[in-house]
Amino acid sequence: MPFPIRALSFTVVILAMSFPVLANDYLTNMMNIISPSQSQISVSVWDVESQKKIYTLNDNTLMLPASIQKLITAVAASHQLGKDFHYETQMTHDGVINNNVLNGNLYIHFQGDPTLKRKHLDALIQQLKQKGISNISGDVYLVAEESKQTRAPGWAWDDLGICYAAPVSNYIIDRNCVKATLTPSKVASTVSIKSIYPITMTSTAKFDQTIDVKEAQKHFCELHMQRFDNNHYQIDGCYPGNKSIRLAIAVNDPSLYSKGVIEDLLQQNKINYLSISTVSKVNQPQTVIATHQSKPLPVLLKTMLQKSDNLIADSLLKQIGRQYFFQYQKQLRTEQAAPLDEIQWNNTVPKDGFLVGAKAIEHIMLELGLPYIEANIVDGSGLSRYNLITAHQMMAVLQLIKTDEQLNYLETLLPVSGESGTLKYKKYFNQPPLKSEVAAKTGTMMGVENLAGYLDADNGKQYAFVIIENGLSPKAKKARLAPFSALLLQTLNDLP
Tell me the one-letter amino acid at 320: I
DSSP state of 176: G
Answer whether CATH 3.40.710.10 is correct for domain 3-63+390-493.
Answer: yes
For the chain, give the percent of residues with pLDDT over 70: 91
Cα separations in angstroms, 447 against 67, 164, 431, 489: 13, 17, 25, 20
pLDDT of 14: 37
Question: pTM for this one?
Answer: 0.91
pLDDT of 481: 86
pLDDT of 115: 98
Distance CA 70, CA 67 (A): 6
What would the pLDDT profile of 139-153 be if each residue is shown by its tens digit?
999 999 888 889 999
What would the pLDDT profile of 284-299 be if each residue is shown by its tens digit?
899 999 999 999 999 9
CA 451 to chain centroid: 16
Q: Is 168 helix (H, G, I), strand (E, B) or coil?
A: coil
Q: 438 with 423: CB under 8 angstroms? A: yes
Q: How many CB atoms lie within 10 A of CB 193?
A: 17
Distance CA 407, CA 398 (A): 10
Q: 165 with 310: CB under 8 angstroms? A: yes
What would the pLDDT profile of 41-99 be if each residue is shown by its tens digit?
999 999 999 999 999 999 999 999 999 999 999 999 999 999 999 999 999 999 899 99
Third-level CATH fold of 88-148+256-292: D-tyrosyl-trna(Tyr) Deacylase; Chain: A; (3.50.80)
pLDDT of 13: 42
pLDDT of 12: 41
Judge whether 3-63+390-493 and 88-148+256-292 match in fold: no
pLDDT of 3: 37
**Edge to edge, what strands does the sheet with 135-136 contain?**
96-98, 101-103, 135-136
Beta-bridged to residue 277, according to DSSP, are 141
pLDDT of 328: 62
DSSP state of 50: T
DSSP state of 230: G
Indicate the domain borders of the chain: 3-63+390-493, 88-148+256-292, 157-250
Give all strands (DSSP E) within 48-173, no chain letters.
Answer: 52-57, 88-93, 96-98, 101-103, 106-109, 135-136, 140-143
Q: 417 with 436: CB under 8 angstroms? A: yes
Low-confidence ranges of the chain (pLDDT < 70): 1-22, 328-351
pLDDT of 170: 96
Cα 180–199–193 angle (5° rounding)? 25
Across the chain, mean pLDDT equals: 90
